[in-house]
Amino acid sequence: MIKRNLGYFILILLACVFSSCFQIIEEINVAANGSGTVNLTVNLSASKTKVASIMLLDSVNGYKVPSKQKIQKEMDEVVAYLKNSPGISNVKKTVDLENYIASVSFAFRNISNINNVNQNVLKKMKIKAVNNSSYSFSPETNTFQRSYAHTKEALTEYNKLKPEVKNVFKEASYTSIYRFEKPVSSCSNPLAKVSKTKKAVMLNTGMMGLINGKTNISNKIVLSK
Amino acid sequence: MNYFFKSAVTGAFLLGTLTVNAQDLSRKIPADAMAVMTIKGNNFLELMSAEEFNNTFIGKEMFSKLAKEQNNNYNSVEDFGFNLSSSFYYYNQTNDSVSYNCFLAPVKNLAQLDKVFEQSGKKFSVNGKLRTFFNADSSKIMRWNDEMLLMVLADGRSAYFDRPEIRERFGMSVIEVPQEAVAVDSAATVDATDVAAAGDQVMDASEVMVDEPKARSRSKKKSSHAAKSRKTKLKGKKSAKKSYKKKPVKVQPAEEAYMDAASAAAEAAAAAVDSAAIVVDTAYSYYEDKNSPYYKDKTIKTAVVARWTVKMIDDAFTGNGQNSILKNADFTKNIDQKAEATIWVAGVEKLGNAFIPSTTYLKDFNVLSGYGTANAKLYLEEKSIRISSAMTFSEEMGSVLRKVHQRKLNKAFLKYVNEDKLIGYMAYSMDTKAYLQEYPKLVSKIYGSLYSDEIGMATDLFSLVLDEEAISKVIKGDGIFIFNGLSQKEVSYKSYDYNEENFETTEVMKTKKETLPDFLAMISTEDTRLINKLIAYGVKKEVVKSKNSYYEVTIPKSPLALYFAIKEGIIFLGTNATEMEQIVSNTYQAKVSGRHKSALLGNNYAAYFSPKRLAGKIPAEELGSPAKIEKANKTLNSLGDIYIRSYPMNGNTFAGEISMDTPADQKNSLKYLFSVIENLK
C-alpha cells in the first residue's frame, strides 16, 4: 500500500533520538458510480526540527538520509508511475520541505484500480510488502468495503528496528476518511465515526496498533439507497 | 540444579560468618589460570549478616523459588553448607584443547551440602570424604569434600578436535573441506547432535560416574528441544565455523530422515498427532542413532574432555598447591583484602587470542596487541561504592599512552565552572600533537602483519599531510562539557482539524514543547586564526550572527540556540546567552570545591553526574505517565553523586575508577545497594 510504503519512507527519513511523531492521512471520496478521488498525506511537521537536523546528516542509525533532491525525485517517480496506471488520472503531488509534508492525490475510474497500483508502487520503491489491504465498491448494493488483514511481517520488520527508530512509531497516527454522495446507513468498524451529514466515515488510530495487529481497520460501509 | 547452584553461590558470595579463617582456596587455583574472580565473603558479611540477607527481598525470593522448584525448605543461606566467611572463586583455565570454567567454594558443613544434593534428587558417588557428581553429559562435574567444592564446566575446543592428526589419534571420523553447499548443510545439521545423549558412553569411559536416572530422563526430554534450537542457531554460522564433510560411514541424509518423518506424520494424521512434533522426534532419534559417525565423534570428544576434567579435578584436590596462582606476583599484588570482589585477568592479549576464533581472516589482526594484565575491584565502603580498574600495557603501548596523556586540563576552565548550577560534567585532556604522531604507529601495530606495506605508506602519508604541530595549536586536546540541565521551548507545527459535518480537513498551526539540553563546552586553543576565518565566513553566509563580543549560530528550523565565544585561548560553546555574556564581560561567578578541582585538574579524564540534581528537571512530556515521573524522580533522588576518573599513568599501567557516594542516611553501601535494587523493582 502506498501508506505503508510511505511509512517505510518516513522510517528511513526519521531516525530520531527524541520522541517524534508523524501522521498519515488517507482520504477517499467515492462517487455513486464507483469512481472517485484519493488524497494521501504524510505529515512530519510535528517532528520538523528533528527532521531538519537529520537532513543535515548523511546517515542516522545506519539508515541513509535521503537528500531533498532525492525525495523530490522519488516522488516524481511515483507520480510518473501513477500517471501510467490504468484507471488513474489527474495525478498531483505536493512536497512541502519547509514543514515536511508530502501528499499525492489522484482520481480513479473504479476503486479496484487502487488495489493494483499500490503493490506495484511498492515494488518500484524496492520495498517488500504483502498486499493485505484492498478496497471495493459495489454501486448495485451501495456497499463500500475496506478489507484489511494484519500480517505478521509488519511486526517482524518492526522488531528488527533499532529501539530509537521504534520510538518514531509509538506516537504516529493513521487517519482514514471515506466520503460518499449518499448517507451511510451502516458501518461495521466500531472504531469508525460517522459525520453529522452521515456522508463521511473517519477512523483515527495509532500506528502501533496496526503494526502489532491489535487494531483492525477493515470496514464495511453500506449506503442508503 | 543450575538454579540451586547459582542461588547458593550468589547467596554465598554475598555473605559469610563473622570469623576470618585460613580456609583460603586460592592455592587451589592453577598458576596458568587466565582469569580469576575473587569474592570475599567475609567482607560482605561485615556489611550484612546472613540473617539480614535472608530477610532481604533477594533472599526471600531465592528461598521461595527454591521451595517451589525443588520442594526444599531453606530458611537461610547458611543451610547450603558453604563457609560464607571465606573467599569464593571463579577461574578460567584454557589451553589449546579445552577450556575449563571453574567455580571454587569453601565448604563448612559437608553433611548439609550432601543434603542439598540429595534433596534436589542429584545422585553422587561417595569415596571417603570425597563426593563426585556428573551431569548427564559430563559437561558439568562437581566434586566436594569437607573443605571445598569445585564445579567445572568443560568445553572441548573445536579448533583442536578438528585437527586431522587429533581426530586420528582419538579415532574420530575424517573431515574434508566441502565440495558443495549441500555437504555444508548436512554437517551443520549434524553438529546439533544431542550432547546429552552422549552421557552413556562417557560414563563407561570415566567409570567414576554415577547414574542419575531422574535427571537423565528429564534432560532427554529437554534435549529434543535443545537439539532443535541449536539447529536453528547453527544455520547462521555453519559456513564459517564448520565447513566440513564427514566421512566415511554411510549416513542417512538428513533430508531423507525428514521425509520419512513427514510421511510417518501424514499417516498418523488421522490419529490427530501433531505432525511437526513427529518430524522433530524422528529427527532426534536420528541424532541419537549410535551408529551415526556424528554421534560417535561427539561421544569420543565428550569422553576425552570428561577424562581430562576428572584428571584436572583430581589434581586440584590432591595437589599441594606448589604450582598455584599464588606464585603469580601480579595476581597476589592485585588481591586487595579490602575489596569485596576482584576480577583479575592474566593477560588481555592472551585471553583474546585464546577466544577470538583463529580464522584466516582474523589471524593477522592483533587488536589487543600490547594489552597486558588487567584487574577490576569492587569496594563497598562506608561513604561510597567504588569500582577501580587497571590495565597494564606493553612498554611500547605504555610509552604511547604516557605521551598522549601528558597534557593536563586548562586551569582557566575552572573560572567558568559553577558547581551549584551544574548537573554533571565530562572533562578530557590529551595531547593532540602526541596523539597525531603516535596514532599511526598504533594502527600499523594492529594491522601491520597483514598490510604492512599499505599501512606503512598510509601512515607516512598521514604524517606528511597533517602538520601535527599546527593542528595541536588550534585544538590543544583538552576540553570540558558541562551539562546544566534541560529546558523547554515551544515550537509550532502544521496539523489538521476535521469538521464534524463531513470530516473536511483544514490545515492548522499547533504548538508543542521540545526538550533541549542546556550546556556549556570549553576547549583550549592557541592559534585562533583559522577559527576567526571560519567565523568571518559564517557571518558572511549569515549562519553566524555577531553579538558584539560573542556569536550566535543560526540553525535553520532548530529551536536550539547556540552561542560561542573565543577568549583567553578558550573556545566557548553554549546554549545560554546570559552565561556567554557573563563570560565575555568577566562577570561569571565561578564556584569549584576542592573535590571537583582535584578531579578535574589531577586526571586526564574526569566525569561527574548528580542524579539528585536532575530529579524533577526532566519535563513530564519526556517521561509520560505521572507514575513514571514519580518513579524516575524517586530513583534519581535515591542515587548518590557519581564520579568517574582516570589516574595518571603509573609506569605502563593505566587505571581508572568509578564511584557513587552512599547517601549519609544509609547504614552501609551494601544495604544501600540492596535498597536501590529493591526500589527499582
Q: For each successive 10 residues of chain A (225 residues), what is the average pLDDT?
A: 37 38 86 90 81 67 72 84 88 87 89 75 52 80 87 78 72 89 93 93 88 87 89
Q: What is d(CA B295, CA B172) in angstroms, rounded to the nearest whole number?
A: 10
B496/A25 CB distance under 8 A: yes
Task: Report whether B145 contacts B106 (CB < 8 A).
Answer: no
Sign of the Cα torsion B304, B308, B310, B311 reads: positive
State whether residue A188 sits within 8 Å of chain B by CB: no
Query: Within 10 Å of residue B652's Cβ, how many Cβ atoms?
Result: 18
Give the cell for residue B155. 568445553
Rg over alpha carbons for chain A, rounded to the nearest Å, is 18
Residue with cell 528429564: B218
pLDDT (tens digit per residue) in B85-142: 899 999 998 888 889 999 999 998 898 888 888 888 888 999 888 899 988 888 889 9
Indicate yes or no: CB of A49 within 8 angstroms of CB of B500: no
In a domain, B402, yes or no: no
What is the chain A residue with the closest CA to B558? A49
Supply the angle between the helices B275-288 and B293-318 in degrees, to the nearest 10. Answer: 60
**Enclosing H/E stretch for A64:** strand A63-64
| pLDDT band per the 50, 70, 90 thresholds, residue B363 | low
Residues 6+ apart with CB under 8 A from B512: A46, B490, B491, B493
Q: Give pLDDT, residue B194.
A: 38
Residue B479 is given by DSSP the state E
Same-domain status, B6 and B124:
yes
Stretch B503-518: mean pLDDT, rounded? 87
Closest Cβ–Cβ partner in A41, A52, A177 for B558: A52
Chain B, window 595-654: residues with a beta carbon less than 8 angstroms from a chain A beta carbon: 621-622
Least confident of B65-69, B351-355, B480-484, B647-651: B351-355
Cβ contacts of A99 on chain B, cutoff 8 Å? 493-494
Nearest to A48 among B493, B560, B622 (CB): B493
Nearest residue on chain B to A199, alpha-carbon basis:
B502
CA of B16 vs chain A CAs: smallest distance (Å): 42
pLDDT at B280 over 90: no
Query: Is there a contact between B584 and B546 (Cβ–Cβ < 8 Å)?
Result: no
For residue B555, being part of any structural domain is answered with: no
- B251 in a domain, yes or no? yes
Angle at A67 between CA A64 and CA A72, to 5 degrees: 125
Asked if residue B238 belongs to a domain, the reply is yes
User: Would you say B143 and B150 are in contact if contact means Cβ atoms under 8 Å apart?
Assistant: yes
What whole-number percentage of chain B has pLDDT above 70?
A: 74
- CB–CB contact A179 B500 (8 Å): no
Chain B stretch 482-511, residues whose beta carbon is closer than 8 A to a beta carbon of chain A = 491, 493-496, 498, 500-503, 505, 510
Residue with cell string 584443547: B97
* A66 contact partners, CB below 8 Å, separation of at least 6: A12, A13, A74
CB contact under 8 A, A179 and B502: yes
The pLDDT value recorded for residue B166 is 87
For the whole model, what pTM was predicted?
A: 0.68
B147 or A64, which is more confident? B147
Helical axes B213-241 vs B181-190, angle rounded to 10°? 160
CA distance, residue B623 to nearest chain A CA (Å): 10
Assigned C-alpha cell, B331: 595476581
Q: What is the ipTM of this complex?
A: 0.80
For residue A94, the cross-strand partners are: A103
Return the beta strands (E) in B41-192 as ranges: 87-94, 98-106, 125-127, 130-134, 140-144, 148-156, 175-176
Residues forming beta bridges with residue B319, ordered by sequence position: none
- pLDDT of amino acid B450: 61
B599: cell is 578531579
pLDDT at B238 over 50: no
Give residue-wise pLDDT tens across range B409-465: 999 999 999 999 899 999 998 888 888 888 777 777 666 666 667 777 777 777 777
| Mean of pLDDT values over B608-619 | 87
Amino acid at B150: L
The residue behind cell 601495530 is: B445
Structural domain contains residue B642: no
The per-type count for chain B, helices as H runs and strands as E runs, is 25, 22
Pairwise CA distance, residues B219 & B118, whole Å:
18
Last residue of a domain, one of B330, B346, B362: B346
- B33 and B58 fall within a common domain: yes
Instruction: Report the residue of chain B nearest A39, measured CA to CA.
Output: B505
Note the pLDDT of residue A222: 93
* CB pair distance less than 8 Å for B502 and A202: no
**B141 lies in the same domain as B13:** yes
Per-residue confidence (pLDDT) for residue B177, from 0 to 100: 57
- pLDDT for the residue numbered B378: 93
pLDDT of B210: 37
Question: Would you say B318 and B311 are in contact if contact means Cβ atoms under 8 Å apart?
Answer: no
Residue A43 has its nearest CB partner, among B491, B495, B503, at B495
Residues 129-168 of chain A with CB under 8 A from chain B are none
> B308 with B285, same domain?
no
Helix (H, G, I), strand (E, B) or coil at B332: helix
Contact of A204 with A123, CB cutoff 8 Å = no
B95 with B228, same domain? no
**Residues in chain A, how many?**
225
Domain count, chain B: 3
Whether residue B641 lies inside any domain: the answer is no
Predicted local confidence at residue A2, as pLDDT: 36
Residue A135 or B358, more confident: A135
B240: pLDDT confidence band, cut at 50, 70 and 90? Answer: very low
How much is the pLDDT for B7?
Answer: 53
The position carrying cell 550432547 is: B195
**With contacts defined as CB-CB under 8 Å, which chain A residues touch B560?**
49
Distance from the Cα of residue B529 to its chain's centroid: 45
Q: Mind giving me the DSSP string for B528-595?
A: -HHHHHHHHHHHHTTSEEEETTEEEE--TT----EEEEEETTEEEEES-HHHHHHHHTT----B--HH
Hey, what amino acid is at B680? L
Q: Do B493 and A45 touch (CB under 8 A)?
A: yes
Q: Same structural domain for residues B102 and B140?
A: yes
pLDDT tops 70 at residue B174: yes
In this structure, the answer to whether residues B40 and B106 fall within a common structural domain is yes
DSSP state of B418: B
Among B472, B501, B524, residue at a domain's last position: B472
Among residues B419, B454, B472, the one where a domain terminates is B472
Cα(B5)–Cα(B142) distance, integer angstroms: 11
Residue B37 in any domain: the answer is yes
B328 and B468 housed in the same domain: no
**Residue B69 belongs to some domain of the structure:** yes
User: Does residue B128 share a domain with residue B100?
Assistant: yes
C-alpha cell at B403: 605521551
Q: What is the mean pLDDT of residues B474-497?
A: 87
**Cell (9 digits) for B321:** 598447591
Instruction: Return the top range by mean pLDDT from A153-167, A205-219, B66-80, B185-199.
Output: A205-219
pLDDT digits (tens, 9 = 90+) for B5-54: 555 545 444 443 333 345 688 888 988 888 999 999 888 888 888 888 88
Containing structural domain, residue B466:
433-472
B300: three-class secondary structure by DSSP: helix
The Cα A169–Cα B18 span in angstroms is 56
Q: Looking at residue B651, what is its pLDDT?
A: 87
More confident residue, B528 or A178: A178
A-B C-beta contacts closer than 8 Å: 60
Tell me, yes or no, whether B285 and B315 share the same domain: no
How confident is the model at residue A143, as a pLDDT? 92
Together in a domain, B332 and B222: no
- The residue of chain B nearest to residue A101, with distances taken between CA atoms, is B494
* Same domain as B192, residue B75: no
